[in-house]
Chain A
Amino acid sequence: MSTLAAPWIILFTPLAAAAAILFVGQYSKPLSAGLAIGSAAIGCVLSWWLFAQPDPSESQQFPWIVIGEDLRIPIGVTVDHLSKVMLVVVTTIATIVFTYSLGYMKTEEGYWRYFAGLALFLFSMLGIVLADNFVMMFIFWELVGLSSYILIGHYFKKDSAADASKQAFIVNRVGDFGFLLGILFLWAATGTMMFGELTSDQEIARFAATPFYLTVACVLIFCGTVGKSAQMPLHVWLPNSMEGPTPVSSLLHAATMVAAGVYMLARIFPILEAAPHALDVIAWVGGITCFGAALMATQQDDIKRILAYSTISQLGYMVLGIASAPTPDVSMFHLFTHACFKCLLFLCAGSVIVGMHHEQNIWKMGALKNKMPFTFLAMVVGGMALSGCPPFSGYYSKDLIIAWAVFKYPFLGWLSVATAGLTAFYMVRLLVVVFLGKPKDDHAKHAMESPLVMLIPLACLALPSFMAGWPVIEGKFFRIEEPPHVPHVLHPVLLLLFAAGVVFAYLLYRRADKDPVSIPFFANRLYIDDLYDWMVKTIQDGGAAVLSWADRWIVDLLIVQVPSKIAWASGFVLRFLQIGNIQAYAFFFGAGVVGLLYLLIFR
C-alpha cells in the first residue's frame, strides 16, 4: 500500500459499494447494509493509516479536460494536513452513522435505497475533501447536493419530505451559482483551477494587486459556503431537511456535508487572507448567522429542528472563525469537535425518536431519563460539549473561535459570546423537557431504550465529544494559535453565561408542561421563511403572471396567430385569380412581361 494509491481507494470504494447495492441490494437487506458499512470501514481504516503517514511529496493527477493552453483540468487528489484530518473525520463519522442506521432503519421502507444513497454521499463528500482543483470540487459539491436531495426525500411519499428535498436542492443552487461565478472569476484572473497554484505566494501577490476584483471573487465563492453551510440568508433549507431519516440528518446535515463549505474556505484560506474586505463580509454573515440561529433554536418544539438550528449556529461560529483567525486550523478544530458532538446529539435524538415511536415534539416527551438512561447520558455529554462546558470538547474549540472573534471583530465577538449563553439555554431546555419532568404522552410512559447496535455508536461518539478538545489530543490534529491578547473578562463571562443559561433553563422548564415563554418572533424563525414565501408568492408568481400574459397575447397572438391569418387571407383573395382558362393565364403572363418591360425601359 502506498500513500499515492490509498486516497484513490478511499474515494472509489464507496462508489463501487453504491453501484453494487443498486444492482443486488434489493435482494438482500444485510448485503446492502454490509456493502455500505464495509466501504466506509475500509475508508476509515485507510484514512487513519494515511493520517499517520508523512505527507507525500508528489501528488497523482490524471489529465481530464485539456483545451488548448489555457484550460487544463486534471482529476487529482490533494493529500495534505487539511484533507487528511477531514478524511479521518468524514470516514470515521460515516462508519459510526452507517452502523447506527442498521438499528434505526431496521423497520423502515427503502432499506437498500437508503444505504445506496449513503454510500453515494460518502463518495461525493470524499471527492470534495480530496479534490485538488476547483472544477473537481464543484462536481463533487453538486454530487453532495444530489445525494442530500435523495436522502432528504427518502420518504418521498410524504409531501413535506418531497418539498424539503426540493427546497434544499433549489436553495443550494442559488448559492452554487455564486460559487461557480467566483471560480470563473479566479480562473479568468489566473488561468488555473488548481488549489496548489492558486494559493501559491506568486499568485497571491498577483491577486493583491487588484484588491477589488479579488474581493468580489472571494465573496462570490463564499456564496457557495452560504448555500452549503446554511448561512443566513440561505439557511432555510437545513431545518426542513430534518424530514429525512435521523441518521441522514446526523451525517449530512450536521457532521460532514454542511461543513463542506467551511472546509472549502479553509482550502482557499491564503486567497481569502489577501482580501480583507471579503473576510469582513464572511465574518458578518457568520456572526449574524450564529446569533440569529441560536435565537430561533430557543423556541422550536421539534427535537430535530432545535438541533438543526444549533447546527446553523455552530456553522456560523466556524465561518466567523475562518474570518477572524490567522489560520484555518481554528475553524477546522471546531469543525472536528462539532462533527463529534453534533453527530452524537442527532443520533441520541434518533434513539429518542425510535423510543417514542416517531414522535418528534419535545412537549410530548418527558421523564425519559429512567426509560432511556444510556441515551440520556450520551445526550448530556453532547449537550455539554455543544454548550461549551469545560472540559468537554466544545469548550476548547468554541472558546478559541470566540477569543479570536473578540480580538479581531469586537462587536461580532461579543455577539458570539451572547450566543454561547443562548446555546447553553436551548440545549438545557431540550434536555430538561425531554428527559426530566413528567411524561406528557403515552408513548413517553412506555418508551424503551434502543437496541445495542444504536447504543454502541453513541458510545463511540460520546468519548471524542468529551475528550477531543483536550490539548493533548487536539495537538495531534491541529496547529492552533491563541490570540495575542483578549479581554481578561472574556473567559469568566463565558463561564458565567454558560452557568446562567443552564440554571435559567433548568428553573424555567423543570416543571413545564408546555412552553412557559412564547416569543412568536423566534418561534416563527424571525419570519425569514415567511418572507421567502411572500417573495415567491408575490414577486415570482407576479412575474410568472406577467410572462404568461405576454406569452398568451404577444407570442401566441401577435407573433403566431396574426401572421398566419394574414397568409391565409391573402391566399383566399388570390385564389380567385385561378380561373382555369389557359388563355387567361397566357394573357396575364404576357401582360406581366409588358408591364415589366415598361418598368425597365421607361421608368
Chain B
Amino acid sequence: MPTLAHYLLVSGGLFSIGLAGVLLRRNILIIFMGLELMLNAANLSLVAFSRFHLHDGLPGYNAQVLVFFIITVAAAEVAVGLAIIVALFRAKQTTHVEDLDILKF
C-alpha cells in the first residue's frame, strides 16, 4: 500500500525533472514541456494531500477542485504559450533560447 511519502517522492521527482528541463534544455518547446511537468507535479502532490488528509472519513475535496482549476488554466496558458512560440519562430526562424537574447543591456 503506497503512503503519502511515496506520492510526494514521485511528485518531487517530476518537479525536479521539469525544473532540470527548464534550466538545461535549449529548445523552447522542451522548456515549455518542462514547465507543464512542474505544474502537474504540483497537481499530483495536491491530490495526494487531499487523499490522505481525511475529514470525518472523507478526503479534503478543496484541493482536488483546485487541481481542476490548475488544469484549466494550464490549458489556456499552453494555448497562449504555443501561440507565442509560433509567432517567435516565424519572426526568428529558430526555437533555440541562445538565439533569443536581444532583450538585454
Contact = CB atoms under 8 A, between A and B. Distances in A.
Interface of A: 575-576, 578-583, 586-587, 590
Contact of B104 (A580, A586, A587): A580
Contacts, number: 27
Contacts of B104: 578-580
B58 to A, nearest CB: 31
Interface of B: 19, 22-24, 31, 97-98, 100-105
B98 A581 contact: yes
B75 to A, nearest CB: 22
Contacts of A581: 97-98, 101
B23 A590 contact: yes
A587 B23 CA distance: 7
Contact of A580 (B19, B31, B101): B101
A590 B103 CA distance: 20
A575 B105 CA distance: 6
Contacts of A575: 105
Nearest to B100: A582
B102 A586 contact: no
A586 B103 contact: no
Interface centre among B22, B101, B102, B104 (most CB of A within 10 A): B104
Nearest to A579: B104
A583 B22 contact: yes
- Of all A-B residue pairs in the complex, the 10 with the closest CB atoms, nearest first, are A580-B104, A580-B101, A575-B105, A578-B105, A578-B104, A582-B97, A579-B104, A580-B103, A586-B22, A583-B23
A581 to B, nearest CB: 6
A581 B100 CA distance: 8
B19 to A, nearest CB: 7
A586 B24 CA distance: 10
27 contacts: A575-B105, A576-B105, A578-B103, A578-B104, A578-B105, A579-B101, A579-B104, A580-B101, A580-B102, A580-B103, A580-B104, A581-B97, A581-B98, A581-B101, A582-B31, A582-B97, A582-B100, A583-B22, A583-B23, A583-B24, A583-B31, A583-B97, A586-B22, A586-B23, A587-B23, A590-B19, A590-B23
A219 to B, nearest CB: 70
Contacts of B97: 581-583
A584 to B, nearest CB: 9
A576 B105 CA distance: 7
Interface centre among B31, B97, B100 (most CB of A within 10 A): B97
